[in-house]
Amino acid sequence: MSQKWHDLKENEIFMFIVRTTFYFIVLAMLVYLYSFRGISNGTFIYNEF
């Protein structure tokens, strides 16, 4: 089992797919969390000057 995992980690195509999936999930979570806030709901830093 450990040899299989090691072979998969050496495979460039597999690692590309894993990294791409990971970055997509992180980006989707950030967009999802940002959507709760809404663009017009937050206060702009210079509005109070």
Domain boundaries defined on the chain: 2-48
pTM, 2 dp: 0.61
Tens-place pLDDT, residues 14-41: 899 999 999 999 999 988 887 766 556 5
pLDDT of residue 35: 75
Structure-model confidence comparison of residues 25 and 45, the more confident one = 25
Q: Are 43 and 49 in contact (CB under 8 A)?
A: no
pLDDT of residue 38: 58
